[in-house]
Structure formats: structure tokens, C-alpha cells
Structure 1
Amino acid sequence: MDMHATVHQNGYDQDPYAKEFGINISEKLTSVEARVLPAPWLKYHDAGKEKECLPQVGQWNMVNKKVINGGKVSHWACINFSRSVQETTARGFCQELAQMCQISGMEFNSEPVLPIYSARPDQVAKALKHVYNVALHKLKGKELELLLAILPDNNGALYGDIKRICETDLGLISQCCLTKHVFKISKQYLANVSLKINVKMGGRNTVLVDALSWRIPLVSDIPTIIFGADVTHPETGEDSSPSIAAVVASQDWPEVTKYAGLVCAQAHRQELIQDLYKTWHDPQRGTVTGGMVRELLISFRKATGQKPQRIIFYRDGVSEGQFYQVLLYELDAIRKACASLEPNYQPPVTFVVVQKRHHTRLFANNHKDRSSMDKSGNILPGTVVDSKICHPTEFDFYLCSHAGIQGTSRPAHYHVLWDENNFSADEMQTLTNNLCYTYARCTRSVSVVPPAYYAHLAAFRARFY
């Protein structure tokens, strides 16, 4: 059933209530002007056959490419929580994965520190601590760098338990794999997992060519930090659980692809992020300052040796009714965090709200012409609309940065609420679109800008804690 037919069938022109209120509903879709931004060139390692890559219709792959900065894994182990996976199968899988990590440009030891350890899911804490301690003993005090875990396909709370224990008790980096993937080993799956492992180990998968040649407007000229922030609320009906705020920020410049993140619990359903900047009284030290923005600015300086001279802040999860409340409160916190590091330190801030929850959908006008659509019949990745259906006076735009897979693509709505860096519409749209190609976990352009995406992932992860 297509939409035109539905609208026609609803017969709004005959509706007595619509008539009474003088409402006319057109049977045609609104026609809007759009442009399609080009994909950026991506840089891979010079040791690979393909050193640079131009994505086609929002996607590309790792064939003949090596990650630009490969991580190193010397000491790793594997725990098998799946009854149906035999040890030989698990060993075969681990060897294939290690090999794929090597092919994609990582230094990865082919042998684990200890043989694959099989454990029951209800003994998860015991198993993790056992493997951690045996490895510690065997490595004479050196730490395990990576833990692979094979999980049953339906594992209930197991995944969350593993992440909680590894990340809050043991300080271990973990990679979980489902049984179905262990049995049906596909190259594509192994390549995807190796991308995730490389980033977890502190590597970089790819970088924008324009970033390396200092050609990104309003990022390349002076040290720039890009923040992403999100708040996730507990599900309806959970009245006692806290909301969780997450903030991430880029830790490299000029590349802007590596991010560090922080999470904080806050009051139930509180939309404003409480811990962007905070002060408290310490009996020994007097007034102490802290907060997530402050910490991330400090770690940017540690990582790059420079202070950020410009801040771009992408904020997810704000509804229109709260735009200015959030802007006032959070911009103030960002400024205070800067000033707490140095009295006159006030880098210019651009504050952008990202929305995915809206009901605007865009369709290609000439739906008979296959070249104006992606494989799924959706608008092409990079499509920008900034007139007609946008705000008459404010700086906002719709950007569909991803290729559709199934259903109708939902473009992201970006609202620039505050801009001290004087971005032109074109510069903001191009930067946002280009960043969507730097998401580390897949070789596709993603639908929201990666810092916002990472903040969402971080907040979601913290639910398990």
C-alpha cells in the first residue's frame, strides 16, 4: 500500500471536522530542494594494496586495506561460555580471528596466554577472575590485554555481567562473540570484529584524507575538540532507576577519530547533564573542581600536547521543548569547565543538537531513476535539506548520511543552537557528513555523527553497571 493511495483513501477533503476548521490537506508530498554531499576520501595504511578509498553509496570494505594505526595484542585469552561449542571449534575460531587481525594490520600474537577455558554462564564472575589471575601469574605481573568470550546466542544477562566485571572490577578489554558466528565463520564477520578489537586496543582504523592534509574548515586551522553527549532514561515503568549521562570527546588532532568517554548516573528522567562541570568542598583540599568536560579537556591536552582552541559540541537526546533550557545550562557548564583550567581560557563553542526521533521522511522525487537512490530505494547518503521544511530563522538542517538497509531512512535533524565559530551552513553540513564516515565499528557511513553515536553507546553500556 503506498502513501499516496492511503492519503487518497483517507479522503481528508470530505472530512467534516477538517472542513469545520478550514483545514485543507494536500494529496501531494511537499517538494523540497536537496543536494547530495560527496563522500570524503579515507586514508588507510601505506602497507596495504589500497592506500586510499572513496566510499561508494555510503559503504566500502577492508579488502586490500590495512588499518592506519594497528593496535598490538601480545597477551590474550579466551573463555567459552557456550555448551555447544567444543574446544577444537573454539580454538579454530580464535586462530581465524587472530589471523584476520594480523591481515587487517594489527600485531596479534597467534597463541593465547593459556588454553581456552570453558565455563558455565552462572559462574561468570568466578571464571573471569580465574582466567585473569592465572594469566597474571603466568605473565609474572604483566596484565592480560584482551579477553575473548564465546557466548550462547540467547545469553540473557551474561553479556552485561561480563562487561560490568571486566570494565569495573578487572580493568580488562573484552570482545564477545556469539555461538552462531563461531560455527559459521564468515570473513566479513571476522573483519568487523577485528575493526572493533583494533579500536579497543587504542588503534585507529581510518582517517579522513582531508584531516591529514589539514583541509577541514574550522577544524584543521587550530586545535579543535569535538564532543558528543547523550542522556538515556530508564524504560517506562522503572521509577527508581537513574538516568545516565555520557560525554565523549575526540582525543587526537588533526585526525579527530579517536574518542574517550565518561559516564555519570543522575536523577531519574533528568534531561540536563548534571556533571559537565562540578565543584565540591573537600576538608583537606578546600574547593575542588571536576566534571566530565573538564576531565576530557585535560586528557585532550595530555594526548595532543595542546589546549583545544575551539569546541564543537554535538548533543543528542533533546526534544524541541527543551532546546534552550539545555543550551543555557550546558553551555554555561562548558564555559565554567574551561575557565577552571585557566582564568581567561574561553575557546569558542558551537553547540549542535542532534535528533533522530522525529517524523520527517524524505523520498527521491524521480523514484523511477535508480541513480537517484541507494539499493534499498532510499535517498542517497549525503542528502541535505535546509530549506522549506526547516526553521525560517534558525540554523538547522536534515542530513541523511547513511545508505538505507531496510525500510525508510530516517534523516538526522541537526539544530545549531549556538555558534561562536561562525560556521557557514555548508561547512557545518560537510563536516557533519564527513565525520559520519569515521565511525570505527563498520565500513559504512552512519546515520548520526559518531561522537553522538559513541555517547549513546557509552550511556547504554553504563546501564549494565
Structure 2
Amino acid sequence: MLKKVKVKTTHLRVSRTHTISGFSPLACKDLKFLRQSWQYPEEPKQVSVANYYWEVYKHRLKYPNAPALDVGRKGKPIYIPLELCKIVEGQWYTKPLSQIQHEKQIDFGRQSPQDRRAVCESAIANNKYDSDELFQEFGLSFNPQLAKVSARLLEPPSLLFGGGRKENPREGRWNFNNKIFMKGCEIPNWVVVVFDCRCHDAHDIAQSLVRACNKRGMRVSDPKAVEKEPQKNQCFPPDERVRRMFHFLAHHRPMFILAVLPDKDSEIYVPFKKMCEVTIGVASQCMVKPRQLNDQYLGNLALKINLKLGGYNSPLSLEMADFLGTSTIIFGMDVSHPGSLGDVDSPSIAAVVASKEWPNNISGLYSARVRTQPSKMEMIEGLYEELDGQPGGMVKDLLIEFYNRCSGPENLRKPQQVIIYRDGISESQFQQCLDLR
């Protein structure tokens, strides 16, 4: 995290700036080097870093057991105690943000179109480009108003809800107030696991969720169990904590698990999801107890749970199927790359999803395939590949799943039209992406 970060020293009258290259292998009190004294230049003696700073700068280290910063070059280390360094302000932070920082960044950057327009127009007014001598010499002038372009507003497709209700979104938004799902799933056997030691009302949360789900057309029974993690288990590593929790649940054999986590960045999340999705194959939903457990929050949970267990929330109306005209499968493709802190050899992850059936393929239910591929590679390798001389790959797998899920005549089960949404490629990669189709 600190590599290549600039620091300035605080023990000199004139501070110097250095770049961190690493840490010392030993603590300051144990880290020794040969020092030549001006009194005895021919007899260098070994001195620890802690003693050196006392002898030369009369500074007794507060933390002699801490390592020192290495601000030298490879093979020629220069060690400075941590307490005598201060990070230089204004450096560009390139490491991954935490969940809270990421949310704040998005909130800061979120602006309405009206706000963005005001920013642009005020920039033109404040900078007074028309009075700039250089621009005047070149005969340039600036219109203070934004350019006007011709446009047309497309009507949004209708959404279907349970009970035959239909609604058109307004300004890209809709809600589930007083509505039910187009198709609600049934959950007869499920459990709640609590990893948050501050949560003492898990039974009340479960009952509230049951009411919210059933209110929206799902058929959810009371949970078979509500298991709270024993306090003694919290000293174990995350993987072991999850394993011990699932040991308690083994005899219940749930089809769905709700997990209450202490915070959004909880170290439990990854091992818990891995256990559910990879090891035992059961649907799960994580939540962090909000300050106010209201119907809107529970409704958002119900939306996610219903889709995960095969329900339809609010599919597009069949008017969209009429618009597409013929049997259509919709693909979505993207590649996720390792973060800046990851190992350079960490693979990229390619994901492809596809609608499951026609004409209900606009319902929001998708099949998914995931593959690893070389790091930082944007083109997806596994779309088509030959296995033992036979064609295969992620696209073929998803087409077969579409065929098996569809009902009706053969011409509907085999899509006549393919729509692909591809995210994450630059304009210079368009042709390369098309050549790989």
C-alpha cells in the first residue's frame, strides 16, 4: 500500500522528500549497520538504527520495535524510522477504494442534467474566453449557451406486474408500492444466519421479511432456524467461522439462506458466498441491518430473493416480444480485471449471461457462464472453443440452455435472432470484437 508513496522527514531543520521502496527486515533496535566515526575513521563499528538517531540527532525513538522505512534503491537501502516520516500531501491515490469511500465518490460525482448544464455555463461565464487576447488573435469566439440538437423521446416499454397490472416507467423509474410480482417464488425451507454480534432481533427481521415477501406475491414460510454465531467463534479466521456456521445448518438442508453481516466490507462475505454458490449450491442473500428496517428496504431484499429463486419481478410486456418479431436470445458480456493491488499474474474473469426462454426472455432471468483468462485481456477467449474436435464454448452452452428451457414449436426454441450487449471495450477495439464473433 505504501510502495512509491512520497514522504518527508520531520527530524531535520530542512525536511527532505523520499520515496518508499519497502520496509526494513528487522525492528529499529535490532537493525544494525557499520558506521564510521569521524574520531576513528579506520575503525567502523556496528550501531543500531535506534542508537544512531539518538547519537546523531538526540532523538530517542518512541517505537524502537517498529520497522523502518526503506527509502533507498535496490541493493542500497536507506532506513528512516516510521515516526520521523510524514506522507506528502496531494499525492494521487491509485489503490482500490473501500465500499464506503466508493459510495461517497459516486455520491460526489452524481449530478442531475440541470446541475451539469449550470456547471458548464458558469465555467464559460467565469473564464471569459471571449476577452482572452490569444483567442481574439485567432478570431475565436464562444457561445455562452450550450448547443441545441434535435432529438426525439422514445416511449418506455410497459412493465407487467402480478394481477394483470401494467405500468409505464416515468423518468426511468418505477416502484412496487401496492404491487405484486409477476411470478412469485415459493420458499418452504430457509434459514437465517447472523454474523453480526450487535444484532439481537434476528427473529423479528425474519418475520418482517416474510410479511414483505408474501405481501408482494411470494409464498414464504417462517424460517426453520435462526442461528447466531457464538461469540467464541469470532476469534477464528473467516473461512473457519463460515464452516462452523454451516455445520449447525447441515441437518436443515435449506433451499435459501439469509445472512446478516456486520458491515458491507465484512470479511465473512467472500467465504460465505463461496460456500453457498460453489460448495453446496444454495441460493443466498446477504444484508446489513439498517438503522430503520422499513418496508422499502425489505421490498428491495424481496426483489433480489425472488429473482434468485426463479420468480419474475416486473418483466417487459409482450409488446416488446412483438417488436422483436421473432424468437430472440439476448446476451450480455463483460470482463472483470484484477485491481491495482492484485498480483500481476492474477487472471481476468470473463462473464457471459443469456436470457432463458422466449417470449419470456425479457423477464430478467438469465443463465450465466464464467471463465478465467489471461490478466488484463479484454477480448473473451471462451465464447467458442473446440473440445475433442467438437464445437463448444460459453455461447453454445447458453444456446442449449435456452433451447431446453423454451416450450412450444421448434422454431421458437431455436432463436432466430441474437442481440448482444458488450461492455468494457474501447472504440479502437470494436472491429477486433466483431472479428471474434
Instruction: State the alpha-carbon separation in 2 of the partners of residues 81 and 8 from structure 1.
Output: 55
2:281 aligned with 1:171: yes
1:275-286 map, 5 Å: 275-280=382-387, 286=388
SS at match of 1:36: coil
Q: Which residue pairs with 2:215 in the alignment?
A: 103
Instruction: State the alpha-carbon separation in 1 of the partners of residues 366 and 242 from structure 2.
Output: 27
Shift of 1:254: 0.6
Shift of 1:298: 0.7
The one of 344, 351, 364 aligned to 1:246: 351
Instruction: State the alpha-carbon separation in 1 of the partners of residues 173 and 226 from structure 2.
Output: 38
1:89-238 map, 5 Å: 89-110=201-222, 112-119=223-230, 120=233, 122=236, 124-138=238-252, 143-153=253-263, 155-179=265-289, 181=290, 183-209=291-317, 211=318, 216-218=322-324, 221-236=325-340, 238=342
What whole-Å deviation, never above 9, does each CA across 1:145-178 have from its counterpart, x for those lacking one?
Answer: 1111111125443222222222122212111110
Shift of 1:277: 0.8
What whole-Å deviation, never above 9, does each CA across 1:381-415 have from its counterpart, x for those lacking one?
Answer: xxxxxxxxxxxxxxxxxxxxxxxxxxxxxxxxxxx
SS at match of 1:326: helix
What whole-Å deviation, never above 9, does each CA across 1:318-345 have from its counterpart, x for those lacking one?
Answer: 111111111111x1xxxxxxxxxxxxxx
Instruction: State the alpha-carbon separation in 2 of the partners of residues 262 and 115 from structure 1.
Output: 33
Shift of 1:292: 1.1
SS at match of 1:300: helix
What whole-Å deviation, never above 9, does each CA across 1:96-139 have from its counterpart, x for those lacking one?
Answer: 001111111111111x222323255555434544454544434x
Shift of 1:204: 0.7
Q: Which residue pairs with 1:308 in the alignment?
A: 415
The one-letter amino acid paired with 1:100 is A
What whole-Å deviation, never above 9, does each CA across 1:211-244 have from its counterpart, x for those lacking one?
Answer: 1x675322xx321100011112223354332222
CA 1:124 to 1:106, structure 2 compared with 1: closer, same or farther past 3 Å?
A: farther
Structure of larger gyration radius: 2
SS at match of 1:115: strand
The one-letter amino acid paired with 2:322 is I
1:91 and 1:116 in contact (8 A); partners too: no
Q: Which residue pairs with 1:321 in the alignment?
A: 428
Instruction: State the alpha-carbon separation in 1 of the partners of residues 349 and 138 from structure 2.
Output: 44
**Between Structure 1 and Structure 2, how many residues are aligned?**
309
Shift of 1:203: 0.7
CA 1:24 to 1:236, structure 2 compared with 1: closer, same or farther past 3 Å?
A: farther
Shift of 1:76: 0.8
Instruction: State the alpha-carbon separation in 2 of the partners of residues 115 and 151 from structure 1.
Output: 14
Instruction: State the alpha-carbon separation in 2 of the partners of residues 187 and 204 from structure 1.
Output: 20
Instruction: State the alpha-carbon separation in 2 of the partners of residues 278 and 59 from structure 1.
Output: 41
Instruction: State the alpha-carbon separation in 1 of the partners of residues 185 and 427 from structure 2.
Output: 41
2:214 and 2:220 in contact (8 A); partners too: yes
Q: Which residue pairs with 2:10 in the alignment?
A: none
Identity of aligned residues (%): 35
The one-letter amino acid paired with 1:234 is P
Q: Which residue pairs with 1:56 in the alignment?
A: 170
Instruction: State the alpha-carbon separation in 2 of the partners of residues 205 and 148 from structure 1.
Output: 19
2:183 aligned with 1:77: no
- Alpha-carbon RMSD across the aligned residues, in angstroms, is 2.4
Shift of 1:18: 5.4
The one-letter amino acid paired with 1:231 is V
What whole-Å deviation, never above 9, does each CA across 1:180-227 have from its counterpart, x for those lacking one?
Answer: x2x521100001100100001111112222x1x675322xx3211000
The one-letter amino acid paired with 2:204 is G
Higher relative contact order (CA 8 A, sep 6+): 1
The one of 32, 42, 51 aligned to 2:159: 42
Shift of 1:41: 2.1
TM-score by length of 1: 0.61
CA 1:114 to 1:125, structure 2 compared with 1: closer, same or farther past 3 Å?
A: farther
1:132 and 1:144 in contact (8 A); partners too: no
Structure 2: state its 5+ residue gaps. Answer: 1-117, 408-412
